[in-house]
A = this chain, B = another copy of it.
């Protein structure tokens, strides 16, 4: 028996799963899902593969948990930006802007935009409810209900806008001048949104 402090089972579990999750996140960002071995995760986390398989069913599951945490954090930020605006349509614009800016973080970009679509299949991603795309759609729905923009097929519009933002975030990773490109991207995004609104956005400050 070493001098190791006695810990409750809960504490032990939390310590090892936290260590595994955070090192896994780091490695997934650095080397991608396929490029990261369980051995590497465990070694860096200071546990054995036996411990890993005690807490996670397989490699996909730990990625799913990392991804879910990432999504929830993102959604929280975007939702806050949306709610900070009085006009729902301004909220959509602010949310889109915030999503784009948040996606500049390399870790967010790599995990949520690049690796997730392959590591998880479409249904698994769909299952992680309340993703950013869903949030965007909710914003659009509220904007329509409030009469800010005419009724539209919102599912297709959501995909278009979400895709526009995500692809831009990926591209920004390789831009020579990130600040300037971000500024230009935001200006062009607003143009597209004006098109989506089908008006010059005079404002309509009723909240639902």
Contacts and interface: CB of A to CB of B under 8 A. Distances in A.
Interface in A185-202: 185, 187-189, 191-196, 198
A163 interface: yes
A89 interface: no
A185 B167 CA distance: 18
B160 A118 contact: no
A166 interface: yes
A157 interface: yes
Interface in A164-207: 164-168, 170-171, 173-175, 181, 184-185, 187-189, 191-196, 198
A32 B118 contact: yes
Contacts of A170: 122, 159, 163
A34 interface: yes
Interface residues of A, number: 42
Interface in A137-162: 152-153, 155-157, 159-162
Nearest to A35: B118
B156 A160 contact: no
A39 interface: no
A134 interface: no
Given A159-B167, A163-B166, A152 B114 contact: no
